[in-house]
Amino acid sequence: MSKTGHAGAIAAAAVIFVTLFGAQASGALAETGTETDAPVAPPPAEVEPAVEDAPRFYAEEVAQPLPEAKLSDAATLAELVETMPADAPLSRDLLCLAQAIYFEARGEPLTGQLAVGAVVVNRTTSGRYPSDYCSVVTQRGQFSFVRGGRIPAPDEGSPAWIRARALAQIVHQDLWQSPAGDALFFHARYVNPGWARTKVRLAAIDSHIFYR
């Protein structure tokens, strides 16, 4: 063999040696599935947010449960009315709300009575009317059954009054959605007040029409 050929063979052997042992030292062979004793690097920091997502979601579920008052099993408004405690003591404010429902809508279906009660409640949160039920109901010129700022006494032994008491609790606790939504006004169908032309009509329930 010539000197040139001998030198070439030595160079080729050197390349093969460096390639094989250099690859093992760098860990590149692990990519092909070859086992290695080299320590496994810990997962990158970028995966940590995915681990944190689960407890963060769980905490929100616990911290923001649905209000207990809204977890009624009643299938209908009538059923919900029946479940309300008939002899539960009511505050003066709730009594005023019940009286408004009784005197304005006791002959209406339950949805109509609920809507009348909702108007009173909506007014207290509107910023345009007094902030308590009694003051809203007795406000001058607002409810026709009020005379001289006084609310007449209901027939406390009547089924209509028992229903009005139950509906006052329901609308106060927001246990059932009113079909009149956020209405602030209503009138009987047999009248045609001028102010109605400037309001947004929301619903007509039996003999009453509701507006915002």
pLDDT of residue 73: 79
Print the domain residue range for 3: 1-40
Structural domain includes residue 130: yes
Structural domain includes residue 60: no
- Comparing 51 with 123, the larger pLDDT belongs to 123
Residues 32 and 95 in one domain: no
Asked whether residue 4 carries a pLDDT value surpassing 50, the answer given is no
Residues 118 and 184 in one domain: yes
CA 189 – CA 91 distance, rounded (Å): 32
- Comparing 86 with 48, the larger pLDDT belongs to 86
Please state the domain count of the chain.
2
pLDDT of residue 127: 96
Residues 85 and 184 in one domain: yes
Asked whether residue 60 carries a pLDDT value surpassing 90, the answer given is no
Structural domain includes residue 154: yes
Structural domain includes residue 47: no
Residues 35 and 100 in one domain: no
Q: What do you get for the CA distance between the two ends of the chain, in Å?
A: 107
Residues 99 and 32 in one domain: no
Residues 91 and 155 in one domain: yes
Average pLDDT, rounded, for the chain: 76
Segment 29-42 mean pLDDT: 38
Asked whether residue 18 carries a pLDDT value surpassing 60, the answer given is no
Percentage of residues of the chain with pLDDT beyond 90: 63
CATH assignment at residue 77: 1.10.10.2520
Pair 203, 179: CB distance under 8 Å: yes
Structural domain includes residue 21: yes
Segment 123-140 mean pLDDT: 97
Segment 130-135 mean pLDDT: 98
Residues 119 and 36 in one domain: no
Structural domain includes residue 48: no
pLDDT of residue 72: 60
Residues 29 and 105 in one domain: no
Residues 108 and 167 in one domain: yes
